[in-house]
């Protein structure tokens, strides 16, 4: 995971904020989640993704896209559609999807000399 | 942490996506992070916050605000300003702040009867 300036283009671009709480048990969740990230990375307009989960509790995944058309095309992807159905059928207790337009951003990167103050 | 419909107003509203990587050692980080969430929750226009970190690795915090004015006022808060300075001085290797406007959202909540299929 790369954090810092230069990772994304200048705003505006789109972010999909996916906040979720899992059910118990894996049932192919982990493998599918990894597959979806790899598959998304190959889609036109994909800019990046960050995903963090605390055990089986709260998870936040933010994927970044060039524009709304890129998001719509990814949503129509057959394998992604099937994964979303499995999500509702068995993997998630609850989730919220929020589609947002990033309007500005700024980044901080610790200078190497100051890494261990 | 509450996930699901009814948590937020209808879009549009604002999201601040804070993605970060920590340095080693706590140095008051945990206490200050908790204090900042409590303090933010008392600000005008605050809608909610979700925060997840995997150990000392990647962390994602998304705070939600009614409008840009609410974000600007929170940014001017003296205690928050001081915490941001500590963040650059010692807590973070790197971070990115992205300010976004949420344009649409949808939520899923598993029905109680189907909780354990």
Domains and CATH numbers, chain B: 13-105 (3.30.70.100)
**Lookup: tokens for A88:** 């509702």
More confident residue, B42 or A8: B42
pLDDT of A31 higher than 80: yes
Query: What is the C-alpha to C-alpha distance for residues A27 and A91, in angstroms, rounded to an integer?
Result: 8
Per-residue confidence (pLDDT) for residue B113, from 0 to 100:
66
CB of B76 within 8 Å of a chain A CB? The answer is no
* Cβ–Cβ gap A54/B58 under 8 Å: no
* Rounded average pLDDT over B31-52: 96
Residues 6+ apart with CB under 8 A from B86: B28, B32
Please state which of the ranges A51-60, A97-106, B59-68 shows the lowest mean pLDDT.
Answer: A51-60
pLDDT of A27 higher than 70: yes
* Cβ–Cβ gap B52/A60 under 8 Å: yes
**Lookup: tokens for A35:** 């597959």
pTM for the whole structure: 0.92
Q: Searching chain B, which residue's CA lies closest to the CA of residue A84?
A: B108
**Lookup: tokens for B64:** 């939600």
Inter-residue contact A70 to A87 (CB < 8 Å): no
Per-residue confidence (pLDDT) for residue A54, from 0 to 100:
81
Q: Provide φ and ψ at B69, rounded to 5°.
A: -60, -40
Which B positions 36-75 lie with beta carbon below 8 A of chain A?
50, 52-54, 57-60, 62
Q: ipTM value of the model?
A: 0.92
**Lookup: tokens for A1:** 């995971």
Dump pLDDT digits (tens) for A82-105: 999 999 999 999 999 999 999 999
Per-residue confidence (pLDDT) for residue A113, from 0 to 100:
66
- B contact test, residue of A1, A2, A3, A57 with most B CBs within 10 A: A3
Polymer length in residues for chain B: 117
Inter-residue contact A46 to A115 (CB < 8 Å): no
Least Cα separation, residue B117 to chain A (angstroms): 7
pLDDT of A117 higher than 70: no
Dump pLDDT digits (tens) for A75-84: 999 999 999 9
Per-residue confidence (pLDDT) for residue B116, from 0 to 100:
55
Which residues of A are less than 8 Å from B88 in CB distance?
Answer: 108
pLDDT band at B54 (very low <50, low <70, confident <90, very high): confident
């Amino acid at each position: 995971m790369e954090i810092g300036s230069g990772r994304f283009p200048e705003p505006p671009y789109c972010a999909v904020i996916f906040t979720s709480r899992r059910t118990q048990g894996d049932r192919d969740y982990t493998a599918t989640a990894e597959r979806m990230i790899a598959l998304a990375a190959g889609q036109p307009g994909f800019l990046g993704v960050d995903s963090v989960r605390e055990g089986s509790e709260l998870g936040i995944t933010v994927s970044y896209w060039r524009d709304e058309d890129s998001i719509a095309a990814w949503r129509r992807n057959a394998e992604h559609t099937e994964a979303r159905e499995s999500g509702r059928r068995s993997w998630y207790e609850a989730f919220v999807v929020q589609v947002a337009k990033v309007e500005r951003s700024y980044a901080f990167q610790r200078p190497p000399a100051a890494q261990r103050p």
